[in-house]
Amino acid sequence: MKGWFVLLLILTGVAFVYTKRYDIVEALSLRPSPPPRSLVADAAAGRVTPLLRAELNALGLKVGDPVFMRIFKESRELELWLHPASGHSWTFYKTYPLCAVSAELGPKSASESSAPEGFYYATSRQLITKSGKLAIDLGYPNIYDRQHKYRGKQARLEGGCAPQGSYAAGDPAMDEIVTLVRAALGNGQPFFRIHCFPFRMTDKRMNKELAAKAKWLEFWANLKEGYDYFEILHLPPNTTVKNGRYVFD
């Protein structure tokens, strides 16, 4: 009888691990780890670090401070924010124009023509080089995407100007972005958040989408909760997924 009880406990534990496998993998990925060696990234850092240091110093920031970014699909913009060593909120650093975007509005589901919208994060393992160009794997599909059974190829923020279901920032911008990201991860930031929005989610714009009965209105209303959180507090929210919705705290 005792043997059966032990076996039951083991099977229960295995089942729990299996059903929670995504959560476990996600949690383990948040451990700090140094960025992988990259000759392309090292060369980029050598080119842009002196200018970055000068610009950041004027803002009370430095290379190695934690990073956070927001992407706006419709206007083709990427905002980069850094967190100073002293201070409670994030400081805006720069807006980078995106030279090309898979611009179909709405989440990346099964369509290769659309870039993802939602709340993503990346660790050092997601810094990649693709065809000699720097890129960041956005982590698509995330837990939200999987719960909604969205599928598609890897989505990236990348150099060059030819995205396929991704965001392209061009090589000069990616030199700066990846340099700052690598420095932050190397300085102990375990991961960095990447918030991808269809547009700037102002009340005025959302009312326009409501009047038009936009297809993705319910999804966008959920994204706006996270958008407003940062707009008000200048702190990116901790984001989880419950019952097919993003939840913020």
167-213 confidence digits (pLDDT tens): 999 999 999 999 999 999 999 999 999 999 999 999 999 999 999 99
Q: Are strands 133-137 and 127-130 parallel, antiparallel or unpaired?
A: antiparallel
pLDDT at 30: 64
Which residue spans within the chain are E strands per DSSP? 67-72, 77-82, 91-97, 100-101, 118-122, 127-130, 133-137, 156-158, 167-168, 192-197, 239-242, 245-248
Q: Can you say how many angstroms the Cα of residue 92 is from the centroid of all Cα atoms in its chain?
A: 17
**Beta bridge mates, 195:** 70, 119
Higher-pLDDT residue of 7 and 167 is 167
> With bands split at pLDDT 50, 70 and 90, how would you rate the model's confidence at 94?
very high
Number of Cβ within a 10 Å radius of residue 244: 9
pLDDT at 11: 39
CA 119/CA 113 separation, integer angstroms: 19
pLDDT in tens, 127-160: 999 888 999 999 999 999 999 999 888 899 999 9
pTM for this prediction = 0.86
Cβ-in-10-Å burial (0-12, 13-18, 19+) of 39 comes to: exposed
Q: Provide mean pLDDT across the span 99-117.
A: 83
pLDDT at 130: 83
**Tokens of residue 15, six digits:** 């089942």
CA 60/CA 62 separation, integer angstroms: 7
CB 159 within 8 A of CB 186: no
pLDDT in tens, 198-209: 999 999 999 999
Instruction: Write the CB contacts of 202 (distance below 8 Å, at least 6 apart in sequence).
Output: none
CB 201 within 8 A of CB 246: no
